[in-house]
Amino acid sequence: MIEIRNLSKHFGDVKALKNINLSVQQGEFFGLLGPNGAGKTTTVNILSTLLKPDDGSVTLNGLDLLSDPRGAKRLLGVVPQELALYEELSAADNLHFWGKLYGMQGNSLKARIRHLLEFMGLNDRGNDRLTTFSGGMKRRVNLAVALLHDPVILFLDEPTVGIDVQSRHRIYEILGKLHQQDKTIVYTTHYLEEIERLCERVAIIDQGEIKAEGTLDSLRQLIQGDSEVLVMLDDISLKTAPADPLPAGVRLTDEGLLGSGDDVNDLVQKLVTICSARGWNIRDIELKSASLETVFLQLTGKELRD
Amino acid sequence: MLAIALKDLKIILGDRKALVLSFLLPIFLVGLFAFVYGSMGAPREEHPVNLLIADQDQTDLSAVIVTRLDSLKSIRLTSICLEEARQKVTRGDYPAVLVLHKGLADSISANRPAGLEMQYDPAQELEMGLLQQAIMLPLFEIIGRPALREMVLEEVRGDYPRLDPKLIKQIENNIDKSFRSDNISPRLQNRNAIIMTPLIPVERTSWALVQAVAGTAVMMLLFSVAGLGAGLLVERESGTLKRLLITPLHPMQILYGKLLSTLVISVLQLAVVFIFAWLVFGLDLTLNPSALMLVALATAFACAGFGLFLAAVSTSRKQVEMLSTLIILIMSAIGGSMIPLPIMPVIMQKLAAISVNYWSIQGFFDIFWRELPLWDILPRIFILFGMGFLLIAVARLFFKRNLAGLV
Ligand SMILES: Nc1ncnc2c1ncn2[C@@H]1O[C@H](COP(=O)(O)OP(=O)(O)OP(=O)(O)O)[C@@H](O)[C@H]1O
Ligand SMILES: [Mg+2]
């Protein structure tokens, strides 16, 4: 479906992509995981014909992207990292505008807009200006625009940055449905939970290089011996939890406190101490096998988040 | 392309505050300038004034006048036939033509009113003042002397019909010797007064009003298209330009869509200003509607091209602001938006031709003041469209070059 061969791109002195090779199958939910500046957006920009690579080739559905960018544009829908919408217009007007640019019109466009607003759970807000929308709602409109012309391939560049947990989950649901519709999806993120939740296969990218590629299980098998403990917290504690620094190897997730280390006993003790010191209520404790985070740490030598 | 324009218009027309402001501001300024210019008699600096001369007499005396005036530092004299001269003055290219009528020499030796006529453009009031001041003395030196001589001799002959020709010769010489140009009797002055003929009826539309309306309208339009030109950068900053580039749209269609929306707003803005001038100051819009529409459209087009140019060469909104302010103020200053052209130094008047303001303002003067037919205004209209096309071509070039950097 998507074949990327020896893709390279530089900006001045910065080598944003170094000889990237990837292939994504029809209907696959593919994750591209990497920290800031890894080259995710550059990859998506090339795949969506916005940037010309220095070297390499890309084929979409057998169609050569570089020689037939216009043909490729019809196949793909892109959800840019930044919101690319007219905030002064309503959701429906935005969809209408973008639909027109894809040559859609009349009743079929109207029907499509109605369908997408419904699909996004926004049908009662369709005629409101985007300035009155929450970040999560805007993200859903941003996603809807990419779906207007019903593309077979979807590129999503960090479509959930900067929105709350609940909105994020709504988007996950929508993406799940799209996956069921057999769309081929390339999803970039630096959230591990998203990869673990959504993707079937993943490539880890750092400094313009693919460090590893495969199914989640195959990546987890790259490392042994590490264990993870998740201390789930109740909602009130989660909400009040400040973002002040936690000890190394411990981080806050949507569900609670996640720690990784060699010794499970030590780990549990450490996490419980943190919680009681801060007055957080523990709901549950879960032992996990080695996570992608650990894989990532070992492959790139750095944490995913700054 | 149309969709882009419609979308832009929707956004622009949706912003009530900015809309009201962008229409109120020019109205306020038009009113202000009309008031200021209406009561103005500003001093001006020294520079040669252009004067046409049509010598229909073709005698030694008329040749002397031409040579004498030509030697004046304060005047730049151009000899030309009367027909052509009248055209140039009517078109506003020159303030006046001095006509030396046939029989000038005869009328002086016959002691009849001299055949001197100044046909002038009342719009160039200040030029005229200077001209009259500059040519008065030299002219009387040449004409006043023989005229005075004839006047005296006529009386002498009447009183003493049989006087010795030798004596008459002596009287003549005495007159010449004692004649001083700065001591001319009112009687003599009246007899030899230059006939002043305005080539444009004075009861026409107030010159100050045309200046105020046209000058301000063009300048305000330039400022407003600069804002709209920044729209392309807004699209870029908001990420929508990136998305536009992903659609099957040709990149140039994005540019042309922007041009179209800017053009529509520009035309609307001009319409508002002129309707206001009509309602409040009684500017007669029915004088030459087709020419008015064409000049307005050409002006809007040139301005829209300018907006596009600004957007394409700048890479940030701040840049647009700086660049536009700079260029617009310069163009407005030299093009006659801020200071009426006739009272500006000659070099500035020449430079004016590089500004959009100049061609547009002159076009409006052609319509409301000189009342020229459409045919005579067409060159200005073509130049305005030409400027627009040139600016768009440059904008295209820059846009194409910057395309990769836009994502
Ligand atoms: N237009 C550009 N000009 C210069 N350098 C660029 C440009 N775009 C990207 N880069 C550089 O290329 C590298 C990869 O950037 P890219 O945007 O692809 O990262 P990313 O993985 O999307 O990061 P993030 O998670 O922050 O979005 C970075 O070092 C970045 O500074
Ligand atoms: Mg990115």
pLDDT at B43: 42
Q: Which residue has the higher pLDDT, B57 or A172?
A: A172
Question: Ligand 1 center to residue A15 CA distance, Å?
Answer: 10
Q: Which residue has the higher pLDDT, A261 or B385?
A: B385
| Residue A38 CB–ligand 1 contact under 6 Å | yes
Shortest alpha-carbon distance between residue A186 and chain B (Å):
16
Size of interface A-B (CB pairs under 8 A): 63
Residue B42 lies in a domain: no
Q: How many structural domains compose chain B?
A: 2
**Cβ contact, residue pair A82, B3, below 8 Å:** no
Q: In whole angstroms, what is the distance from residue A208 CA to residue A191 CA?
A: 18
Neighbours of ion ligand 2 (CB under 5 A): A 40-41, 81
Structure-token match 């970039």, residue found: A188
Judged against a pLDDT cut of 60, whether residue A115 lies above it is answered with yes
| Choice among A63-72, A179-188, B13-22, B63-72 with the minimum mean pLDDT | B13-22
Out of B135, B168, B198, a domain closes at: B198
The CB density around residue A135, as the number of other CB atoms within 10 Å, is: 14
**Cβ contact, residue pair B248, A70, below 8 Å:** yes
Q: Residues B301, B384: contact at Cβ < 8 Å?
A: yes
**CB neighbour list of residue B380: distance below 8 Å, 6 or more residues apart:** B295, B298, B359, B360, B362, B363, B366
Q: Residues B334, B348: contact at Cβ < 8 Å?
A: yes
Q: Are residues B319 and B217 in the same domain?
A: yes
CATH of the domain at B110: 3.40.1710
The residues in A 131-150 lying below 8 A from B, measured between CB atoms, are: 145
**Cβ contact, residue pair B246, A73, below 8 Å:** yes
Out of B169, B198, B227, a domain closes at: B198
Statement: A2-220 belongs to CATH 3.40.47.10: no
* Closest chain B CA to residue A69: B248
pLDDT at A258: 83
Mean pLDDT of A198-223: 85
* Closest chain A CA to residue B241: A84
CA angle B283/B285/B291 to nearest 5° reads 130
- Taking contacts as CB-CB distances below 8 angstroms, the residues of chain B near A93 are 7, 10
Q: Are residues B259 and B221 in the same domain?
A: yes
Residue B338 lies in a domain: yes
Identify which of B349, B310, B280 has the alpha carbon closest to the alpha carbon of residue B30. B280
Residue B11 lies in a domain: no
Q: Are residues B116 and B234 in the same domain?
A: no
Q: At what angle do helices B207-237 and B356-368 cross, to 10 degrees?
A: 140
Mean pLDDT of A232-252: 78
- Identity of the amino acid at B46: E
Q: Are residues B244 and B379 in the same domain?
A: yes
Q: Are residues B256 and B397 in the same domain?
A: yes
Q: How far is CA A10 from the centre of its chain?
A: 24
Identify which of B223, B227, B283 has the alpha carbon closest to the alpha carbon of residue B34. B283
pLDDT at B210: 85
Shortest alpha-carbon distance between residue A78 and chain B (Å):
8
Residue B323 lies in a domain: yes
Alpha-helical segments (H) within chain A: 40-47, 69-75, 91-101, 106-119, 135-147, 165-180, 192-198, 216-220, 235-240, 264-278, 292-300
Alpha-helical segments (H) within B356-373: 356-368
Please tell me the number of the ligand nearest to residue A42's CA: 1
Low-confidence ranges of chain B (pLDDT < 70): 15-22, 24-26, 28-47, 108-114, 144-148, 175-193, 201-205, 343-348, 406-407
Mean pLDDT, chain A, as a whole number? 87
Q: In whole angstroms, what is the distance from residue B407 CA to residue B396 CA?
A: 17
**Cβ contact, residue pair B407, A87, below 8 Å:** no
| Residue A14 CB–ligand 1 contact under 6 Å | yes
Domain range summary for chain A, segments of one domain joined by +: 2-220, 225-289
Judged against a pLDDT cut of 50, whether residue A306 lies above it is answered with no
- Taking contacts as CB-CB distances below 8 angstroms, the residues of chain A near B248 are 70, 73-74, 101-103
Q: Are residues B381 and B331 in the same domain?
A: yes
| Residue A16 CB–ligand 1 contact under 6 Å | yes
Q: Are residues B86 and B106 in the same domain?
A: yes
Identify which of B389, B319, B330, B376 has the alpha carbon closest to the alpha carbon of residue B357. B330
pLDDT at B322: 75
Q: Are residues B189 and B247 in the same domain?
A: no
Identify which of A54, A48, A50 has the alpha carbon closest to the alpha carbon of residue A20. A54
| Residue A40 CB–ligand 1 contact under 6 Å | yes
| Residue A207 CB–ligand 1 contact under 6 Å | no
pLDDT at B111: 60
| Choice among A130-134, A291-295, B47-51 with the minimum mean pLDDT | A291-295
Angstrom distances, CA of residue B36 to CA of A130, A217, B211, B338, B339: 46, 81, 11, 11, 11
| Residue A45 CB–ligand 1 contact under 6 Å | no
**Cβ contact, residue pair A49, B244, below 8 Å:** no
* DSSP 3-state of A254: coil
Q: How sure is the predictor about A44, in pLDDT bands with cuts at 50, 70 and 90?
A: very high
Integer Rg of chain A from CA: 21
Q: In whole angstroms, what is the distance from residue B235 CA to residue A97 CA?
A: 14
Fold of A225-289: Alpha-Beta Plaits (3.30.70)
Q: In whole angstroms, what is the distance from residue A87 CA to residue A108 CA?
A: 24
**CB neighbour list of residue A303: distance below 8 Å, 6 or more residues apart:** A35, A297
Judged against a pLDDT cut of 90, whether residue A157 lies above it is answered with yes
CA dihedral B219, B223, B226, B228 (to 10 degrees): -110
Judged against a pLDDT cut of 50, whether residue A227 lies above it is answered with yes
Judged against a pLDDT cut of 80, whether residue A108 lies above it is answered with yes
Please tell me the residue having the least CA distance from ligand 1 atom 26. A36
Token pair belonging to A144: 């809807």
Out of B198, B232, B249, a domain closes at: B198
pTM surpassing 0.90? no
Closest Cβ opposite residue B249 in set A50, A89, A101 = A101
| Residue A34 CB–ligand 1 contact under 6 Å | yes
Q: Are residues B168 and B241 in the same domain?
A: no
Determine what percent of chain A is predicted with pLDDT higher than 90.
Answer: 46
Q: Residues B235, A80: contact at Cβ < 8 Å?
A: no
**Cβ contact, residue pair B243, A74, below 8 Å:** no
What is the extent of the structural domain holding B178?
Answer: 49-198
Residue B10 lies in a domain: no
pLDDT at B41: 45
**Cβ contact, residue pair A87, B238, below 8 Å:** yes
Judged against a pLDDT cut of 60, whether residue A190 lies above it is answered with yes
Query: What letters, b where the CB count within 10 A reaches 16 and e where it falls short, cover B238-264?
Result: bbbbbbbbbbebeeebbbbbbbbbbbb
* Closest chain A CA to residue B239: A84
Q: Residues A56, A7: contact at Cβ < 8 Å?
A: yes
pLDDT in tens, B28-53: 666 655 654 554 444 444 567 888 98
The CB density around residue A237, as the number of other CB atoms within 10 Å, is: 18
CA angle B64/B66/B67 to nearest 5° reads 65
Q: Are residues B245 and B300 in the same domain?
A: yes
